[in-house]
Amino acid sequence: MRKLFTLLLLFSFGFSQELKVGDVAPPWALMYSPGKYEMLSTWSMEEGKRLKRPVSQPYRHVVVMSFFATWCAPCMLELPILEKLYNKYKSERVKFFLIDITEATRNMTGFENSPKAGPFLKKKGVTMPILYDTRGTVMERYNAVFLPRIYIIDGNRKITQIREGFHSEEKFTKELIIEIDRLLGEIK
């Protein structure tokens, strides 16, 4: 099933070149509710450039982005752990975003009846911000073929970690905490 999904995504969206650690994260603006958008440039911008809203939000943040879909079983295993980390770092300069691609993949065979992310995650107790990539544009830019897919971005919009799939809660949690703490030490 994973190979079929990967082939469908590659064929349907025409994915670009793979991003690597050290690359500048592609910009994005994604809707979080009707008519309201979140932008990467509000929280992280290339060195030497100003953030999108320097008066109301002058501080650079670490950004943790997780691409997921409601039909993705490994994503559902990862979400409670991300929720714990989100709560741990709530008062720090770290922004967590769940990037929902459910709607972008809904027309693919087998995913037509997938639940909508907002109500589905609310029932599961997930309170992290959900951004909706309904057309798969950001998914394509980030080449998020395998799910879940996490990108950690520093305050200067550099990708510092890319995680694909979900394996072990202990290892996953430890590695994310180490990276987030390291980056927080650099931006303070």
pLDDT digits (tens, 9 = 90+) for 42-81: 999 999 899 998 888 899 999 999 999 999 999 999 999 9
- Domain containing 183 equals 2-8+22-187
Q: Is residue 16 part of a domain?
A: no
Amino acid at residue number 58: P
pLDDT digits (tens, 9 = 90+) for 5-37: 443 444 444 555 789 999 999 999 999 988 899
Q: Is residue 15 part of a domain?
A: no
- Output phi, psi for 131, to 5 deg: -110, 140
Instruction: Provide, rounded to the nearest whole percent, the portion of the chain with pLDDT above 90.
Output: 67
Whichever domain contains 49, its CATH number is 3.40.30.10
Q: Is residue 14 part of a domain?
A: no
d(CA 155, CA 5): 33
**pLDDT range class, residue 2, cuts 50, 70, 90:** very low
- Output phi, psi for 101, to 5 deg: -115, 15
Total domains in the chain come to 1
d(CA 122, CA 44): 27
Q: Is residue 17 part of a domain?
A: no
Q: Is residue 146 part of a domain?
A: yes
- Output phi, psi for 132, to 5 deg: -105, 115
Q: Is residue 66 part of a domain?
A: yes
Q: Is residue 161 part of a domain?
A: yes
Average pLDDT, integer, range 115-124:
90
Q: Is residue 166 part of a domain?
A: yes
pLDDT at 9: 46
